[in-house]
Amino acid sequence: MNREYRKWWSPALGRDMELLVFGDKGTPVLVFPTSMGRFYQWEDFGLVGHMAPRVEAGWLQLWCVDSVDGESFYNRTASPQDRARRHLAYERYLVDEVLPAIRAANPVDYLIVTGTSFGAFHALAFVTRRPGIARKAVGMSGAYDAARWLDGDRSGDAYFVNPLAFLPNLHDDRYLAPLRETEIVIATGRDDPSVDESKR
């Protein structure tokens, strides 16, 4: 299986960012790590190995990105608004830097985003804030109310990074139409500590 390491200086984040690409063709999958996880987490946890037959067959190409959770949602020294703004910078990194890299390497005009735990939050936040970019999101055992990492703040930028806050008030069809065309899978189980939140 093709494995490629990439690293570049991110203008959006003002620092180096790293990622791993597995496979050389197939539907691109943007893979988010868990809370404060790293770009190699899915490989270390055996998830890439589990998906290897689909990657080697050319069905999927995995783009495993790094996180900045320690600088955003989990940075308790920053205000909730500053944490939210750092997440928005991360979103710009994904849209302005990672997505063009995916498109340059892979002609498939279909994108899946996925993650587990906090990675599931990132997947859902991405498709709801940027509808139309990804055609499918798969969140596994996720927690989706960002207010818990923002000291309960639901105002300003904290509102706009929280899908469970802004989605109920979204009425603009320019955003709703592509969102309705997006397949969203929220996977959970009865013993999942976030099962109630997943059902919301």
The tens digit of pLDDT for each residue in 12-25 reads 999 999 999 999 99
Which residues, including other chains, have CB under 8 Å from residue 170's CB and lie 6 or more apart? 176, 179
State the pLDDT at residue 65: 99
State the pLDDT at residue 196: 56
Q: Are residues 127 and 184 in contact, defined by beta-carbon separation less than 8 angstroms?
A: yes
**pLDDT over 70 percentage in the chain:** 94
- Distances from the Cα of 127 to the Cα of 22, 120, 133, 153, 184, angstroms: 22, 11, 7, 22, 9
**pLDDT over 90 percentage in the chain:** 91
pLDDT at residue 69 greater than cutoff 90:
yes
For the residues of 86-151, what is the DSSP string, one character each?
A: HHHHHHHHIIIIIHHHHHHH------EEEEETHHHHHHHHHHHHSBTTBSEEEEES----GGGGTT
Q: Backbone phi, then psi, for 29, in 5-degree steps?
A: -125, 120
- Distances from the Cα of 85 to the Cα of 69, 79, 89, 124, 144, angstroms: 12, 10, 6, 18, 18
Q: What is the mean pLDDT of residues 37-46?
A: 96
Q: If pLDDT is split at 50, 70 and 90, which confidence band does 191 have?
A: low
Between strands 112-116 and 136-140, the pairing is: parallel
pLDDT at residue 53 greater than cutoff 60:
yes
Name the residue ranges covered by the structural domains of the chain. 3-199
Tokens of 136: 């499918």
Q: If pLDDT is split at 50, 70 and 90, which confidence band does 188 have?
A: confident
Which tens digit of pLDDT belongs to each residue from 90-143?
999 999 999 999 999 999 999 999 999 999 999 999 999 999 999 999 999 888
Cross-strand pairs, 4: 21
Q: Is 3.40.50.1820 the CATH classification of the domain at 3-199?
A: yes
pTM, 2 dp: 0.93
